[in-house]
């Protein structure tokens, strides 16, 4: 395994290829899902969330109402098989080969 030079925080696998953390979000709508709160980007890599202001807090408040996220992928209403193929398959395979791998649910 190569060591990073000059304090560079990237790391290398045994074959010298650079790896990075990937971030995905899976959204599974339910019967009471708030469709008006979430917008998906056409690129299937971004998601915007909007919450209405809580009027009980008054007209002037610092309540955050909007969030935007850029990700490696948005899996909207995806099957368990598609989630595994897209997110976990390579991590599991590499872990079985002796590499570190993490999946956070």
Domain boundary assignment for the chain: 21-52+64-97
What's the helix, strand, coil split of the chain in %, to 5? 20, 20, 55
Instruction: Give this prediction's pTM.
Output: 0.64
Assess contact for 59 and 65: CB atoms under 8 A: no
The pLDDT-based confidence of 1 (bands split at 50, 70, 90) is very low
The pLDDT-based confidence of 3 (bands split at 50, 70, 90) is very low
Three-state DSSP class for 47?
Answer: strand
Give per-residue pLDDT as tens, 64-100: 889 999 999 999 989 999 999 999 998 889 888 888 7
């Amino acid at each position: 395994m190569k060591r990073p030079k000059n304090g560079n925080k990237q790391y290398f696998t045994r074959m010298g290829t650079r790896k990075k953390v990937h971030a995905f979000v899976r959204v599974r709508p339910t019967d009471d899902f708030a469709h008006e709160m979430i917008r998906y980007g056409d690129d299937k890599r971004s998601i915007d969330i909007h919450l209405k202001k809580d009027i009980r807090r008054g007209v002037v408040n610092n309540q955050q109402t909007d969030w935007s996220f850029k990700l490696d992928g948005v899996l909207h209403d995806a099957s368990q098989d598609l989630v595994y193929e897209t997110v976990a398959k390579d991590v599991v395979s590499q872990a079985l080969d002796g590499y570190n791998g993490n999946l956070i649910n």
